[in-house]
Structure 1
């Protein structure tokens, strides 16, 4: 019984090691042999809901420009969901986006899109 448990543990370790190596090989193949994977530089954002208004505050501490957009889904079926105009937040810059619903806010989120250099 002990030998069987050891064999199962060794087999599991070998399989996990193989999966880890496969993931690394896949990541290298996706980005090329000499290209490091691109780091994600996205602005730090937070949202505040006050009644029927939503405000997003975004700050970008990174050296790349990030395009942010506020999305609001209203709670009532007849209340139109809306998306703000995208705002480009440059390095060390700050942006404030505001949207509102007629009645209650169902949910709100920020989307990020990196701006090419």
Structure 2
């Protein structure tokens, strides 16, 4: 069973010489879109939507992604993964009914 997620990865204090290798490693683990870096090139982030498959948990995905990043960086760097499950997001429904119409347009007929 696959589950649709949006994953955001934020990588802090990586070796700037390994930036491209880290981006390739991340893209090999998830369908990340463009990577954004700060001006000092010590933090980068990316987001992307894809599916966790085969019963993989969010924590297992984090572990897999961290392993790939640390291997590409050839050293520890801080990795933050924000996971949003997209198939059951909380939501609110707001209806613009007759009462609202009458408040906005008093005395106007439909």
Q: Give the TM-score of the pair, scaled to structure 2.
A: 0.31
More strand, by proportion? 1
Greater RCO (CA < 8 Å, at least 6 residues apart): 2
> Which has the greater radius of gyration?
1
More helix, by proportion? 2
Q: Give the TM-score of the pair, scaled to structure 1.
A: 0.29
